[in-house]
């Protein structure tokens, strides 16, 4: 059979190609946006600290301790710091507004008992503005 008349790749070859493609895209994503990689790692480490503190005697000393609330406050701070880092680094600047918005949302969730429910509307308006900005900023 000539080169022009090759048969379609079998199922195993297609699955191997798809797996290689997925691994390559995953690897490229982490390598292309290291701010995201560091941010996610920090969030997971913070979650581990909160879980360990919640299930140890440490949290018993504090009446105000609420594991989810503490996690979301810390996550909000981490994501806000990521947004500030993005703002200062031109290579990663494209997603700084989203980081700031998600950081604000996480903070609002963590501080939920302290804030009036009316404050939850502000991040929602921010999300709408960012979506519209992205929709109209795209070149067609």
Spatial separation of the C-alpha atoms in residues 77 and 46, rounded to whole Å: 11
- Whether pTM exceeds 0.75: no
pLDDT score for 132: 85
Query: In Å, what is the CA distance from 58 to each residue of 34, 48, 62?
Result: 33, 14, 8
| DSSP one-letter code for 107 | H
pLDDT score for 23: 60
Spatial separation of the C-alpha atoms in residues 100 and 74, rounded to whole Å: 14
Spatial separation of the C-alpha atoms in residues 121 and 72, rounded to whole Å: 18
Q: pLDDT tens for the chain, 140 residues: list them.
A: 555 555 666 666 666 665 556 566 656 655 667 888 889 999 999 999 999 988 888 878 777 778 888 898 899 999 999 989 988 888 878 888 888 888 988 888 888 765 666 666 777 787 788 788 778 876 55
Question: Residue 20 is inside which H or E element, if any?
Answer: helix 11-32
């Amino acid at each position: 059979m000539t080169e022009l008349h090759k048969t379609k790749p079998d199922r195993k070859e297609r699955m191997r190609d798809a797996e290689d493609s997925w691994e390559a895209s995953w690897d490229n994503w982490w390598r292309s946006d290291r701010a995201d990689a560091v941010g996610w790692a920090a969030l997971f480490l913070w979650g581990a600290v909160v879980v360990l503190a919640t299930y140890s005697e440490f949290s018993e000393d504090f009446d105000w301790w609420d594991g989810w609330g503490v996690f979301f406050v810390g996550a909000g701070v981490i994501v806000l710091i990521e947004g500030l880092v993005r703002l200062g680094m031109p290579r990663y600047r494209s997603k700084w507004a989203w980081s700031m918005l998600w950081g604000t949302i996480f903070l609002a969730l963590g501080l939920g008992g302290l804030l009036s429910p009316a404050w939850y509307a502000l991040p929602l308006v921010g999300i709408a503005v960012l979506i519209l900005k992205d929709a109209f900023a795209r070149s067609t």
